[in-house]
A and B are shown apart, each in its own frame.
Chain A
Amino acid sequence: MKLEQGYPESMLASIAEVERTRAERLETRFPKLEATEAEQLLQRYHPDYRPEGKRAIAVGPNRGDQAPHELVDLLEAQPRITPGDVDLSRIDHEIDLLILGGGGAGTVAALWAVAEGLEPNQILIATKLRHGDANSMMAQGGIQAAVAPGDSPAQHFLDAYGGGHFTNRRELVRALVEDAPGILRWHEKLGVLYDRDTAGEMLRKHGGGTSRMRMHSAKDYTGMELMRVLRDAARDLEIPVLEFASALELLTDEVGRVAGAVLVDLETSCYRVVRARATLLATGGFGRLHIQGYATTNHYGATADGLVLAYRAGARLRDMDAVQYHPTGAAYPEQLVGQLITEKVRSMGAQPINCHGVQFVYPLEPRDVEASAFIRECYERGNQVDTPTGFSGVWLDSPMVEAIHGPGTIERNLAAMARMFRRFDIDMTRQPILVFPTLHYQNGGIAIDPDGRTEVPGLFAAGEVSGGIHGKNRLMGNSLLDYNVFGRRAGRAAAQDILAGVAPGPAVTLEHAYRHAEACRQAGITGELRSPLLLPDYRGKEALSRRIDLL
């Protein structure tokens, strides 16, 4: 296919329309939606509001609750371990604290468990891929904290609670907003480099749904800068990390208290039994389930494993019906489809524009509302731009960022975005980029209290795997904050329990998993599916059709 500076000829006329209307749009401000208009938009266009995308869970603590089919399938699937597979009389690791997941939440929990008094070598971080290989690394926009004089924890609370449609658990939001400034201060002490003004104050930006500018960032590599410093700090302390080791099932004692986990090496398929006084789930979200067929911004390992394991052990989930679709996933070129275009592009002035060069929505509505407006523009109003590989999207007029803030702004503040498009010959400082909503975040998760305790004794959870903090919709900049606040709280609480002598009983069993499996069969659920999923499968159909099971 012949491309003109990265775009095919079929898209050039629409780009010309965007350029034609730019000067006028720079002078006008599109109004924010009234609350009732926003609600109507959600009801009609947001994927969460399509009843055919969900069903009621048939077994377990959330029996009767609605959740996406893709998740319910895994919750109702049979365990990967069957009786006789694993010798539980041989314990491979006997430790204080087992942390499942090596992303932001798990790493923060480990650091604070040590600060609380645990010996580093009594902790084990087990992670499916490599340490730091997680959605935490990919977050671009920033982290919220009410720091400026005109802002307050109360204002942050109001934004987060309203953004979550008033369904968040209030004590969790309180912890989130009260701890936020302390977390940034901790980051300063670890050596995290936030963007600053010439006076040394941290730069602040708006995010969708915020009433104050309280997004703090490190260019558009905020998540990466945070994760690489946290990982480095964990390496300073020599906290043991087991890589390519995925949890297959939690272990429980004779009364159902969590007592560790069975891990499996993803390359050798060999298992290890880990017995721990406390277990902390930090396994992240479910983007790679491709709910309702959506592309995703998520990391390869985001397959809901932690939800499945915790659910079998009796943990209650909440808000699993609410999925976050980020309004601006890349819709072109094909190589980037689904990848995140940070909200910061809109924070800095880029407007969403339809194929005729017309703005159709305020750029910084809460994410679910903004995404709904994009879907309406593409699938009801017919004002979409079609790509050669069959995707549709609307323009994000990125050159406006430079028109407003001056040449060089994108390179300084949005280096990752600019680099990503430049690899495919698109110059976002001069050309608009095409976007469509992409599956971004698991709003709900395992129910926790403000110390990261789940409803199952011995089991803690932090980060995207947990639920209640964001209610039905998370605001930009509250996920990096979430994993820091609740990673810290859960790590400390787990350490305190351990130091106080709390421990599981002598038995190490998989009975809870077998009971859940039996309950699924009793409920008439048949099928071959086993969970946790561990990794998605993107192998080509042709290759799979010729596959012979050899070794």
Chain B
Amino acid sequence: MSLSELPDLPSPLVTIHILGRLVQVPEGLTLMKAMEYAGFRLVHGVGCRGGFCGSCGILYRMADDYKLRPALACQTTVAEGMYLARMPFVPTNRAHHDLTQVNLATTTTLLASRYPELARCVACNTCTKACPQELQVMDYVQFALRDDWAEVTRESFDCIQCGLCALRCPADIAQFQVAQLARRAHALHNVAPSPQLAARVASIKAGEHRPELERLLDMDVDGLRALHAAREIEEAS
């Protein structure tokens, strides 16, 4: 098994606490790699290791600082004096919803009716400060209260659903769940289907593409090789 994750080079060490134990790890490691370096074999709180899946939310505190800081373990670098605590995930409520059963044209309380705790928001901005994607979470909660799906979509699009906002929210709102519902409602109600796409789907259903495609399917490899080499490349617009 190759250990391509870590370079085998001497490096200055930093001293940190991982779940209560004092360890020294090379500087420059991510929090996730630091835990592995120290002997942890990760099963939960680890996923894509690239900042996309939201699995590795972690809490830490710096020495002599009262502030509890949330972060993604795979996207944050260790620093001298950190105290780390891992979490498996944030259990949140996802309201049951079947958008096909909702009249999206008339509803004005879709989000607040599914997530009434939205009304408990005290605008403390803790969610925004917790967001590792630096989204304006509190702003989209305000848009959610007004059932403005388009604005929630705009503000929440880059959400990786790590749950750190919900973990820190004093009103127990699961912001990322609300945003997921808002984005789908926005897509279904405010975004018109692509006319080109509908036309192409219909043409395939009618079999109009078949003669051209089947001509290629029946051709020998040399013929296809020649066609492939002679393709005209569409100019980028």
Contacts and interface: CB of A to CB of B under 8 A. Distances in A.
Q: Is the A/B pair a real complex?
A: yes
A190 B213 CA distance: 29
A540 B1 CA distance: 13
Which secondary structure dominates chain B's binding surface?
Answer: loop
Nearest to A182: B201
A298 to B, nearest CB: 8
A130 B47 contact: yes
Given A191-B188, A299-B53, A154 B213 contact: yes
B52 A138 contact: yes
A1 B98 CA distance: 54
Question: Closest 7 interchain pairs by CB?
Answer: A543-B39, A191-B184, A162-B228, A191-B187, A540-B37, A290-B2, A154-B212
Contact of A294 (B4, B160, B224): B4
B216 A157 contact: yes
B55 A133 contact: yes
B234 A206 contact: yes
A389 B28 CA distance: 10
Contacts of B195: 200-201
Interface residues of A, number: 101
A212 B234 contact: yes
B50 A138 contact: yes
Contacts of B157: 193, 218-219, 221, 225
Interface stretch (A47-55, A141-149, A273-281): A141-149
B133 A152 contact: no
A356 interface: no
Contacts of B200: 146-147, 181
Interface of B: 1-7, 9, 28-30, 33, 36-44, 46-53, 55, 75-77, 89, 94, 96-99, 133-134, 153, 157-158, 160-161, 180, 183-188, 191-198, 200-201, 204, 209, 212-213, 215-217, 221, 224-225, 227-229, 231-234, 236-237
Contact of B209 (A162, A178, A200, A229): A178
Contacts of A192: 187
A129 B234 contact: no
A414 to B, nearest CB: 11
A288 to B, nearest CB: 9
A350 to B, nearest CB: 13
Contacts of B44: 129, 244, 267
Contacts of A250: none
A335 B29 contact: yes
Contacts of A221: 52, 157-158
13 contacts: A129-B44, A130-B47, A138-B52, A152-B212, A178-B209, A188-B187, A192-B187, A193-B187, A297-B50, A338-B4, A535-B43, A536-B1, A543-B37
